[in-house]
Chain A
């Protein structure tokens, strides 16, 4: 399995996926930093770790679904465009393993994105001189929550990208995911809980609570229900996607 995963990384070594992710990450983090800096300049009480964690978590709703769609689409589209599915199918590796290797490759890249975000937030906090103690637990939870939701989104994306040759649909789904992530807070709770892309904020370590029309940051406990739903979605979509892609005629 490790060998197949290594080969996936070998295949993308000149695809500049990392560069694309860095570009989008730079755009997102610049937005987050500028927004937080403006908040701090208006209200110095906002110079706390919670502010940058909350802003980045909320922006992830817009960016991460699209980044996930791009990564997964890129991994699958190179096989579609190169007409290499038959070549891969003729190898002594099961299609399930190939599917898992692509998913693993996407998962590693998305985990790296979340970790890089945490590092950039740390650097930002240190340069801004945030007054409270560095929240190690929050950072770990941020990485775990972001990666978990991205993994669920990636499993849906991979199913589409693998089985539908035309990547317009996969990218369209990514865009719809971004839309849901961006507007997630507007949906009623009963609807929102079923939309995987709206969970970036819910699995984040910080939330915004309103009292008398004034918002203040508050610690948010880990929601086992949301986490289980995300993990369940990832698992179910991965299994069904793998079975569907495995049985599809090349």
Chain B
């Protein structure tokens, strides 16, 4: 597993994926802050109002899309030059290959979330927010990352199966809307993308009810394991299209 992870990490050298990871949270935050500054008379809840503005577009649209881009990126090299053949004939289990890719995605998304939180904190200081920095927002960001684990399992499954870079990202856009619809319909716990909305408290900053809280922590690994199992089974059994 460690060897698989090292190999995956090695593939990320000189990839400049960091630019993508930094630009999207940065821009979402910039627009959110500008909107907050322009509507300060109405947004009177300090740090929490700023959170609603900066996390809305980021958590609802751009973080899932970022996950999709990163997942497509970690499968890009394998889809080129018949590299799946080489990867799957290496003396490592298919599960190890999947888990390594998943771990790299998780680490990169954790980096994006950390950057987002640092920018949120810096923006709050620059905008002279009243009161101390709300510690629970760190928890919300971590929950967002936790929800991203199931989204990344889904996106990795798609990116492993689909050779195109763009198609899984397109699926992600459609899934974002489906997730939003299910969240509004009150059945958000049954879809990975809605779990992100719930976990990051994007649309509602109230604490979750105990039942919802439990479901949130259970459904994410359930989805993740199910999708990971599907992917690993596919890697073991399906023929690799290299043309």
Please determine whether B170 and A23 come into contact, CB atoms closer than 8 angstroms. Answer: yes
State the 5 A-B residue pairs at the shortest beta-carbon distance, nearest first: A167-B165, A73-B166, A70-B166, A27-B174, A27-B177
| A83 in the interface (beta carbon within 8 A) | yes
A-B contact pairs, 14 of them (CB 8 A): A16-B167, A20-B167, A26-B174, A27-B177, A31-B177, A66-B169, A73-B164, A168-B20, A171-B169, A175-B24, A175-B65, A179-B24, A179-B27, A182-B61
CB closest residue in chain A, given B180: A31
Encode contact with A along B165-187: 1 for CB under 8 Å, 0 otherwise.
11101110110011001000000
When distances are taken between beta carbons in the complex, the residues of chain A under 8 Å from B169 are 66, 70, 171
Q: Complex: how many Å from CA A104 to CA B16? A: 31
When distances are taken between beta carbons in the complex, the residues of chain A under 8 Å from B16 are 166, 169
The residues of A with any CB-CB pair to B shorter than 8 Å are: 15-16, 20, 23-24, 26-28, 30-31, 62-63, 66-67, 69-70, 73-74, 77-78, 80-83, 166-172, 175-176, 178-179, 182-183, 186
Encode contact with A along B88-106: 1 for CB under 8 Å, 0 otherwise.
0000000000000000000
| B160 in the interface (beta carbon within 8 A) | no
Q: Complex: how many Å from CA A48 to CA B2? A: 61
CB closest residue in chain B, given A63: B173
Size class of the contact patch on chain B = 35 or more
What's the count of A-B pairs with C-beta under 8 Å? 101
Please determine whether B17 and A168 come into contact, CB atoms closer than 8 angstroms. Answer: yes
Please determine whether B61 and A168 come into contact, CB atoms closer than 8 angstroms. Answer: no
Please determine whether A77 and B61 come into contact, CB atoms closer than 8 angstroms. Answer: no
Q: Classify the interface of chain B: helix, strand, loop or mixed.
A: helix
When distances are taken between beta carbons in the complex, the residues of chain B under 8 Å from A169 are 16, 19-20
Question: Known interface pairs A77-B164, A175-B62. Does A168 touch B72 (Cβ–Cβ under 8 Å)?
Answer: yes
**Closest beta carbon of chain B to A25's beta carbon, Å:** 10
Please determine whether B73 and A24 come into contact, CB atoms closer than 8 angstroms. Answer: no
CB closest residue in chain A, given B174: A27
Please determine whether B31 and A186 come into contact, CB atoms closer than 8 angstroms. Answer: yes
| B81 in the interface (beta carbon within 8 A) | yes
Which one of B24, B27, B167 lies within 8 Å of A70 (CB-CB)?
Answer: B167
Q: Complex: how many Å from CA A31 to CA B61? A: 15
When distances are taken between beta carbons in the complex, the residues of chain B under 8 Å from A183 are 31, 35, 57
**Closest beta carbon of chain A to B111's beta carbon, Å:** 15
When distances are taken between beta carbons in the complex, the residues of chain B under 8 Å from A16 are 167
| B76 in the interface (beta carbon within 8 A) | yes
Which one of A30, A62, A167, A182 lies within 8 Å of B166 (CB-CB)?
Answer: A167
Please determine whether A27 and B178 come into contact, CB atoms closer than 8 angstroms. Answer: yes
When distances are taken between beta carbons in the complex, the residues of chain A under 8 Å from B34 are 186
| B23 in the interface (beta carbon within 8 A) | yes
Please determine whether A69 and B166 come into contact, CB atoms closer than 8 angstroms. Answer: yes
Please determine whether A172 and B174 come into contact, CB atoms closer than 8 angstroms. Answer: no
Please determine whether A20 and B170 come into contact, CB atoms closer than 8 angstroms. Answer: yes
